[in-house]
Amino acid sequence: MQYTDEQIEKMLELKESIVDKMSKHQDELDFLQKNLDILDVVLKGSSFTKASSLPRKSEPVVETIVKKEDTAESIQIKKNKDGEVIANAFVTPEKISIIMSEGIGLTDEIPPLKSFFIERIIGEMKKIDSADVKNGKIDQGSVIDCVINKNGPAIREIIIKNYRQKERLDEIINTATWSLTRMLENSVK
């Protein structure tokens, strides 16, 4: 297809306009990148928490380990036989967050997590709480609850909310230790 001189001239003008706009945008991008780099250096030097680990506004706000360590008691959960740390429990008055150690690839399908820990231990506590709700001793929002967060199929964290009593805390930590140890043994078989 043949183009007229006028059409070629218009295409050259369009090309020049596009190159100019790209150059202006590139200058703006370079300016923004330099400012970002400066902010990163300033933030890195003045903060013990990496900015990249802070929750973004567009993401759901999930309590981070940094916050838990600041306000929570930390309890190591170790295998009974060799003392290997399989998880760390971060305890606040509102909840217990059991965070699995790196490389522990347990799934919630491995016994006895569901049958013993969740259904028997947490389930019995939930029954008692439900009765207390009916009797007016506690409100529905204070009933114990258990949530399992995963990375793919692997358990990342077990959260127990509203445990409320020191005796329950001790029972949860002890049975979690026993259950996780048995799960590791069952996953090897």
pLDDT value for 59: 37
Higher-pLDDT residue of 51 and 63 is 51
Lowest mean pLDDT among 35-44, 65-74, 78-87, 172-181: 65-74
Please give the average per-residue pLDDT across 105-132, as a whole number. Answer: 93
Query: Same domain for 81 and 9?
Result: no
Rg (CA), the chain: 28
pLDDT value for 42: 64
Residue 97, phi then psi, degrees to nearest 5: -120, 110
Query: Same domain for 42 and 93?
Result: no
Q: Tell which phi-psi region holds residue 83, choosing left (phi > 0), alpha (psi between -120 and 50) or beta.
A: left
pLDDT value for 40: 67
Q: Is residue 151 part of a domain?
A: yes
Count the neighbouring beta carbons within 10 Å of the beta carbon of residue 85: 11
Query: Same domain for 165 and 97?
Result: yes
pTM: 0.61
Residue 127, phi then psi, degrees to nearest 5: -65, -45
Domain span holding position 144:
65-188
Please give the average per-residue pLDDT across 160-182, as a whole number. Answer: 93
Query: Same domain for 126 and 47?
Result: no
pLDDT value for 157: 94
SS3 assignment, position 179: helix
pLDDT value for 155: 93
Q: What percent of the chain has pLDDT over 70?
A: 81
Q: Is residue 157 part of a domain?
A: yes
CA distance linking residue 149 with residue 176, whole number of Å: 15
Q: Strands, E, within 56-167: which ranges?
A: 73-78, 85-91, 95-100, 145-151, 154-161
CA distance linking residue 159 with residue 147, whole number of Å: 5
CA distance linking residue 136 with residue 130, whole number of Å: 10
User: pLDDT for 55-112, tens place per residue?
Assistant: 554 433 333 343 444 467 889 999 877 888 999 999 999 999 999 998 888 999 999 9
Q: Is residue 58 part of a domain?
A: no
Q: Is residue 60 part of a domain?
A: no
Q: Is residue 59 part of a domain?
A: no
What is the pLDDT of the chain when averaged over all its residues?
A: 82
CA distance linking residue 124 with residue 46, whole number of Å: 48
Provide the CB-side half-sphere exposure for 100 (13 A, CA).
21
Query: Same domain for 43 and 125?
Result: no
Higher-pLDDT residue of 1 and 170 is 170
pLDDT value for 41: 66
What is the domain count for the chain?
A: 2
Structure tokens at 157: 């964290």
pLDDT value for 158: 96
How many angstroms separate the Cα of 130 from the Cα of each of 21, 36, 62, 156, 167?
66, 52, 27, 28, 18
Query: Same domain for 121 and 77?
Result: yes
CA distance linking residue 187 with residue 87, whole number of Å: 16
pLDDT value for 64: 38
pLDDT value for 55: 52
pLDDT value for 137: 92
pLDDT at 38 over 80: no
Query: Same domain for 101 and 143?
Result: yes
Query: Same domain for 16 and 71?
Result: no
Query: Same domain for 69 and 161?
Result: yes
